[in-house]
Each structure stands twice: as C-alpha cells, then as structure tokens.
Amino acid sequence: MRAVVQVGGEGTRLRPLTLTTPKQMLPIAEQAMIERVVGHLAEHGIDDVVLSLGYRPDAFINAYPGGRIGAVKLSYAVEPAPLDTAGAIRFAAGHAGIDETFVVVNGDVLTDSNLTDLVDFHRRAQAEATIELTPVDDPSAYGVVATDDRGRVLAFIEKPPRDEAPSNLINAGTYVLEPSVLRRIPGDQRVSIERQTFPEMVEAGVLYARGSTAYWLDAGTPEAFLRAHRDLVMGERCRPPAPSAHRDTSLGPGVWRIGVVEVDQGARVSRSLLGRGSHVLSEAVVEESVLGAGSVVEEGATIVGSVLLPGARVASRASVEGSIIGLGATVGQRCELRPLSVVGAGVVTASGSLVDGERIDPGS
C-alpha cells in the first residue's frame, strides 16, 4: 500500500529551530521525526511513500540519497508553490502516479494508531474517504467531527469555539482516500481538505470517520516537542525511546544511552536519554531530559525536563529548565533558562543572563 506524507510546512510554531532544519528532520529522542512517522506506516504494511515537500526540500532528499527509510521506498513531490492540504495531496499523488486506495498522514504527528484497522473500516463502509479521529480536552484549535452510529460524517467543523463544539473528537490528520477524491480537488491552486474538500464530501454522504484512543501527539510546538521526548523516555509509549537505545542503570535510575557516553564521577543523571558521545561532567545534574549526540553538560550545570539537540553545550553552573537548546548552540556560564525557552542552532547565550520563555534565533 502507498501513502502521502505531508511535510511541506515551514514549521513556524517551532522557530527558531526550523530556521535551519525542517521540522520533520528534527530529532525526537535521537531519531528524525520523519523516520518515526514512516516507521509507523511500515508497521502497517505501507512500503511506498511520497513526501509532499515545500520548505527546504533538499534537506530530505540529501538525508536519504538512496530513496529509502528502512524498507520503505521514498519519492519526492516538491510543490512549485504552496498548495494547502488538499492541493498538496493532489499534487503529490499525481506526481507518484497513485491510482488505488492510499493513506495520507501529517509528518509532524506521532501516533500508535492502528492503520490496518482504519483501512479495514474504510473498505467495509465503502467510503470514499475516512478520517481517523482522536479525543482532546479542548477541541477549539482543531477540526471537530460529528458522525452517526455507522461512522458517516454529519458535520466537519474547523476550529469551533470550545463551548460550541459538537464533540471532543478531532481530525487526527490521518486519512484513507480513494483515487476519486483527487478528482474533487482543483489542480494547481490552494485548496484546503479540511475547509473545502471534506465539507463537500459530507454533503455527498461519502465521508466516514472512526475514533481511536491510541497515543497521538501533534509535535509541532515547543510544548509538544518536549512532551514527545518525555513520553518516549518516561515509557508512556511502551517501547525504547530510540531503536538503538539501551537501558543503563549504572548511569542512574531510568537512564537510557545510545552508544558510548561519559558521565563523570559526582554527576547525577536520572530518567533521561544520553545520545552517542554526550558527556556529563562532575557535579552536573540531568533529570528527565534528552542529551543529543555529542552534547556536553559542564561542571555544576543543571538540566531538568529539557532537550539538548546534537552538539549543544551547557556551560558550568548554568540552569536549563523545560527548554530546548538547538543544534550546536551554547548556554553560557551561570545562564538561567526558564520553561519554554528555545535557543536556535549555533546561538551562544550570554554568561549570567536570564532567558524567561524567550525564543532566541541565530540573528539575535
């Protein structure tokens, strides 16, 4: 079976990290987000994926020069201009010559949903399109879906006020589509599948949906990016945080490592993942965090609930809480980063400074 993975957005919610790296190429617990998405597809028999690209397409093409992620064949459809969700699906499917039932997923959604069951439901219902739904506490930021008892969609309401939402089941960004859906989408123009295509299909009675309680996370914000790491490291997803990660209790309780790492005598590490070649120096504290490959935590520094991307360095006596440190960035001596601070790639923060939930890009 084939799939379209939508990865064309600029990742504005994760800036400044995405100023240099497309969102789906950022590592989640030392594995690129796109590899986690494609790996989930492979678990359900999908062996051919077309990436719908827009922003920085060369980053994807250069990362996988053999045109494969694991056993999954990749092809690339680079939009000549932004086409929105439906337009991008039509363009990518046409580029890849898709002419049978196929799956569409968002490249920034991490999930354990059962795609095999979703495809079976779609075929039993003889649907033209089927949407996976997931429950959320506040549906106002999403597309809310109401269905009848057979799963036929009665209403598709994009981002309703919280007190007016007909349910808490939202569009999870996973679709099973028949090729006939592509004929409903005008070519070479911006078309939203949520605001235009799906509402038209509701009127025709050919749109179905099925709820799922499986793990689901839109990883496209700093809060969610941090949560994705925490869920993997703390065991919320019942699997190792990365394919090559191993538990190593000699380093501390609940600690995972990838390859060779260094933890100096006097350092304290707990409930964390240490990437290949990372180094935690004496008197440093690392809790519930992920240290990317080659990252360094110097003497007496404290890292809590944070992510250091590969090559990052936290200087002596600095404190990082609930924050993300970009590729090759440096947090200066005695600098304090408070929750939801994001330091862009290559940035060096001033020693002794306070960063209170700010985003610091390379141009600052």
Domain boundaries in the chain?
2-220, 244-360
Q: Torsions phi, psi of 285, nearest 5?
A: -125, 130
2-220 folds as: Spore Coat Polysaccharide Biosynthesis Protein SpsA; Chain A (3.90.550)
pLDDT at 319: 98
Q: Tell me if the domain spanning 244-360 has CATH number 2.160.10.10.
A: yes
In whole angstroms, give the CA distance from residue 198 to residue 155. 9
pLDDT at 237: 60
* Average pLDDT score over the chain: 93
In whole angstroms, give the CA distance from residue 346 to residue 340. 18
Helix (H) or strand (E) holding 43: helix 33-43
pTM: 0.92
For residue 314, give both structure tokens: 């936290």
**Bridge pairing between strands 307-308 and 72-78:** unpaired
Q: Average pLDDT of 72-96?
A: 94
Helix (H) or strand (E) holding 147: strand 143-147
In whole angstroms, give the CA distance from residue 71 to residue 38. 10
Q: Average pLDDT of 170-186?
A: 94
For residue 334, give both structure tokens: 């005695």
In whole angstroms, give the CA distance from residue 264 to residue 20. 32
Instruction: Encode pLDDT of 337-363 as tens digits.
Output: 999 999 999 999 999 999 999 999 987
Helix (H) or strand (E) holding 308: strand 307-308
Q: How would you class 150 by CB atoms within 10 Å of its CB: exposed for 0-12, middle for 13-18, buried for 19 or more?
A: exposed
- Indicate if 159 belongs to the active site: yes
In whole angstroms, give the CA distance from residue 224 to residue 97. 34
CA dihedral 300, 304, 309, 311 (to 10 degrees): 10
Strand 354-356: give its sheet, edge to edge: 268-270, 285-287, 302-304, 319-321, 336-338, 354-356
In whole angstroms, give the CA distance from residue 38 to residue 329. 28
Greater model confidence, 296 or 187: 296
In whole angstroms, give the CA distance from residue 127 to residue 290. 43
Least confident of 23-32, 134-143, 249-258: 134-143
Q: Average pLDDT of 156-160?
A: 79
Tell me the sheet residues that pair with 132: 210
Q: Which of 15, 44, 95, 159 is catalytic?
A: 159
pLDDT at 139: 82
* CA end-to-end distance (rounded Å), the chain: 46
